[in-house]
Amino acid sequence: MATATLTIDLDAIAANWRALDRMSDPTTQTAAVVKADAYGLGAKRVVRALAEAGARRFFVAVAEEGAAVRQALGPGPQICVLSGHMAGDTEMVHDLDLTPMLNSVEQITRHLESLPGHPFGVQLDTGMNRLGLEAPEWEAVAALVLEQGPELVMSHLACADEPGHPLNEAQLAEFHAMTDGIGVPRSLAATGGILLGADYHFELTRPGVGLYGGRPWESAQPVVALALPVIQIREVAAGEVVGYSCGYTAEEPRLIATVAAGYADGLTRRYSNAATLWDGEVPCPIVGRVSMDLITVDVSHLRDIPRTLDLLGPMQGVDDLADIAGTIGYEVLTSLGHRYTRRYATTTTRGQV
């Protein structure tokens, strides 16, 4: 085939969830963040693997994502919508039994008026200045909201991936000030917050990127592998150029492999003349510019030309690629394209599509 193969290890995702679950007290529930189609890896398959591992509460970004997760899981597990109850969401929230995390007085009013008695949670802003009620807003409506029995009160840490950042302790203190004594389950920690320790765990943690093998959890099992098929080999003489805009000039005779993937598949042009593909443990540098569908790679040093070269695998993970591109592993994961042949691997069904 002329399309790259993206392999997603469902066992590794489940193992990562169980390991993160063990980091908190048994009385603390561990949820799973599966927004953005499970960070680009396919929510339908991922949420089922997580449910089998023991997850019973899932977080998505918007109600439409919640619909896909509900379809995959069926009734039972709780699906929380981080964007809250947006205008137009009422029917979907009701029919699919979604739990919106209400972010504003406007959303609180909308939800309580349109779906009285329907489960909801509340998100508070403790210093990130993104989503959630600020302290004066919460103080004004807390009594009314708490009478309606929210499922969860949560906030989000801005700098949890920097353990020494002073905002972590400041947000923790603000969260205590806004929520102590309310008698409702609370959540502050995503993956980075879990790693900060028990003070940040409260009654529920909600790991996200750690499930998928990304920083800041360095002990996560790797989840994804990406093999790019070699579709042509070309001898390039000294002085000849390769790719758009003469992006690479051979200083001596080289053997260049063209592989099938490019920026249309989420592989940024920043990898041009910078990133490396791998034949097993042997590095093969990208030469020239990454184009829409193709990448050129120097394989002059290989004894035999393989059918595929690995961009993601044992020698190079999502955060390694992120470092090259000047971004973060989240972006690498969520940019992985839809043209890839996706294979979901488990111990019993390795290699199944």
Q: What are the distances in angstroms from CA 72 to CA 68, 216, 245, 280?
A: 6, 29, 46, 36
Beta-sheet pairing, 29-30 with 32-33: unpaired
User: At residue 234, what are phi and psi to the nearest 5 degrees?
Assistant: -140, 135
In sequence order, the β-bridge partners of residue 259 are 230, 295
Name residue, tokens 């758009």: 244
Closest CA to 308 of 324, 297, 317, 316: 297
- The one-letter code for the residue type at 6 is L
* 212 is annotated as an active-site residue: no
Element containing residue 156 per DSSP (H, E): none
Query: Hey, which bits of the chain come out as E strands?
Result: 5-9, 29-30, 32-33, 57-60, 78-81, 98-102, 121-123, 153-154, 186-187, 204-205, 224-236, 241-242, 248-249, 254-260, 276-279, 282-285, 294-298, 308-312, 341-345
Contact indicator for 259, 286 with CB cutoff of 8 Å: no
Q: What's the rounded Cα separation, in Å, for the pair 291 and 297?
A: 12
Q: What's the rounded Cα separation, in Å, for the pair 207 and 77?
A: 16
How many CA atoms lie less than 13 Å away from 19 in the CB half-sphere?
Answer: 18
> Which one from 39, 200, 212, 244 is the annotated catalytic residue?
244
Q: Is residue 130 part of an annotated ligand binding site?
A: yes
- The one-letter code for the residue type at 118 is H
> Which one from 35, 39, 248, 340 is the annotated catalytic residue?
35
* 44 is annotated as an active-site residue: no
Q: Is residue 86 part of an annotated ligand binding site?
A: no
Sign of the dihedral defined by the CA atoms of residues 121, 10, 45, 228, in that order: positive
The DSSP string of 241-296 is EESGGG-EE-SS-EEEEEEE--GGGT--GGGTTT-EEEETTEEEEB-S---SSEEE
User: At residue 216, what are phi and psi to the nearest 5 degrees?
Assistant: -90, 5
Feature table: binding site? 130, 292
Feature table: binding site for substrate? 130, 292
Residues with catalytic roles: 35, 244
